[in-house]
């Protein structure tokens, strides 16, 4: 344990230490306050019902949270519906993107030989799949499919690129000691690629949230933050639309923080965790 504390002490002396993270916290509160201030002043000056003040948005939030929306769904039900879809679609993206990225990274010929099939898909936006998704799927499956399409490629691509970063010397350490291919995959390839996988996951998570709102606009469902926002947009009730927007931002931000936390725990061996 003495060692751990020594390491911690080393960290404290290096830049990026506790005293700086305190400043970072303060600065975030300050910039948040400034942003809200500008919003308040702007909204007061414009004085339009379509440009609500932060207070109007808070009121809308309280109304939605306590009494639900015009269709009787609570804000929590909307938020959870979207979160569930994102988690399932994103989870599928990880479950397929990581193994496929590893496989094609380890056998580059497999990738080279299937590029013409894989790569064009990368450029078809998930939104372009909505018509087909409506025809072929219903309910959760439809959203999971669309979000999967958005999350898969960032995860797959960064895993694929990460495998190329495996140092031949690290592989050779395993080989000369008589390690099996599986041992090398588990103990050399995966640890090397892990930072890229996590980075891909964070990009994929962004795409997943990007996709969800568009997918929920497609209709056929009554819940989801995207749905709720469209309902209120049709009623021209802008504060309620903004509640949906901010909630999406907040949930995405929190999920990203969770991934960053995992990253910091997993990669204590690195100099620093990149953002």
Partner 1 sequence: MHGYAPTAKVDVDATHRYGQLVVHEQLKFSVAANEFICICGPSGCGKTTLLDMLAGILKPSQGHVLIDGIQANPKQQSISFVFQEPSTFPWLTVRENVATGLKINGARREEIEAKVGDIIRIVGLIGFEGYYPHQISGGMKQRVAIARAFATDADLILMDEPFVSLDQPTRERMQREVLDIWRHRKRTVIFVTHNLEEAVYLADRVLILSVKPARIVADLPVPLPHPRDPLSAEFTEIRSECVRLLHAPEGGDAPPFGSI
Using CB under 8 A, which residues numbered 202 to 261 contact partner 1?
A: none
**185 lies in the binding site for partner 1 (CB under 8 A):** no
Closest CA to 185 of 108, 106, 267: 106
Among 172, 181, 186, 264, binds partner 1 (CB under 8 A): 172
Residue 84 Cβ vs partner 1, minimum distance, rounded to whole Å: 34
Among 89, 154, 174, 226, binds partner 1 (CB under 8 A): 174
Among 118, 173, 217, 259, binds partner 1 (CB under 8 A): 173
Q: What is the DSSP string of 212-237?
A: HHHHHHTSS-S-SHHHHHHHHHHTT-
Site string for partner 1, 2-41 (x = CB under 8 A): xxx--x--x-------------------------------
Residue 271 Cβ vs partner 1, minimum distance, rounded to whole Å: 6
Residue 191 Cβ vs partner 1, minimum distance, rounded to whole Å: 4
144 and 86 Cβ atoms separated by less than 8 Å: no
Tokens linked to 76: 């929590």
DSSP 47: -
Among 54, 91, 125, 191, binds partner 1 (CB under 8 A): 191
Residue 175 Cβ vs partner 1, minimum distance, rounded to whole Å: 6
Displacement of CA 77 from its chain's centroid (Å)? 20
Among 15, 18, 72, 177, binds partner 1 (CB under 8 A): 177
Burial of residue 13 (CB within 10 Å: 0-12, 13-18, 19+) is exposed
Residue 166 Cβ vs partner 1, minimum distance, rounded to whole Å: 11
Using CB under 8 A, which residues numbered 136 to 165 contact partner 1?
A: none
Nearer to partner 1 among residue 118 and residue 179 (C-beta): 179
Which residue is associated with the tokens 């947009």? 233
Using CB under 8 A, which residues numbered 256 to 275 contact partner 1?
A: 267-271
**Long-range residue pairs from 82-86, CB within 8 A, at least 24 positions apart, any chain:** 82/212, 82/216, 82/224, 82/225, 82/226, 82/248, 82/251, 83/251, 84/140, 85/140, 85/143, 85/144, 85/147, 85/212, 85/215, 85/224, 86/147, 86/205, 86/208, 86/209, 86/212, 86/255
Residue 180 Cβ vs partner 1, minimum distance, rounded to whole Å: 8
Separation CA 165–CA 156 (nearest Å): 15
Residues that bind partner 1 (CB under 8 A): 2-4, 7, 10, 169-170, 172-179, 183, 187-188, 191-192, 194, 267-271
């Amino acid at each position: 344990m003495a060692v751990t504390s020594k390491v911690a002490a080393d960290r404290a002396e290096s830049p990026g230490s506790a005293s700086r993270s305190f400043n970072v916290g303060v600065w975030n509160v300050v910039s948040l306050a400034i942003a809200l201030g500008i919003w308040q002043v702007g909204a007061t000056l414009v004085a339009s019902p379509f440009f609500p003040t932060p207070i109007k948005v808070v009121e809308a939030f309280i109304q939605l949270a306590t009494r639900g929306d015009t269709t009787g769904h609570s804000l929590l039900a909307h938020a959870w519906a979207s979160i569930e879809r994102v988690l399932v679609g994103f989870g599928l993206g990880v479950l397929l993107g990581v193994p496929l990225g590893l496989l094609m990274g380890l056998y580059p010929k497999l990738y080279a030989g299937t590029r013409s099939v894989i790569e064009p898909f990368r450029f078809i936006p998930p939104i372009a799949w909505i018509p087909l998704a409506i025809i072929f799927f219903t309910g959760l499956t439809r959203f999971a499919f669309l979000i999967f399409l958005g999350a898969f490629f960032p995860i797959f691509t960064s895993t694929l690129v990460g495998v190329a970063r495996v140092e031949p010397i690290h592989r050779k350490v395993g080989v000369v000691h008589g390690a099996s291919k599986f041992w090398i995959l588990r103990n050399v390839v995966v640890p090397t690629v892990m930072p890229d996988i996590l980075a891909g996951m964070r990009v994929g998570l962004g795409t997943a949230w990007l996709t969800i709102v568009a997918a929920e606009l497609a209709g056929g469902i009554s819940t989801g933050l995207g749905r709720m926002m469209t309902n209120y947009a049709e009623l021209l009730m802008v504060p309620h639309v903004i509640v949906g927007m901010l909630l999406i931002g907040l949930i995405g931000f929190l999920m990203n923080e969770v991934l960053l936390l995992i990253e910091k725990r997993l990669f204590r061996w690195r100099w620093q965790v990149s953002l």
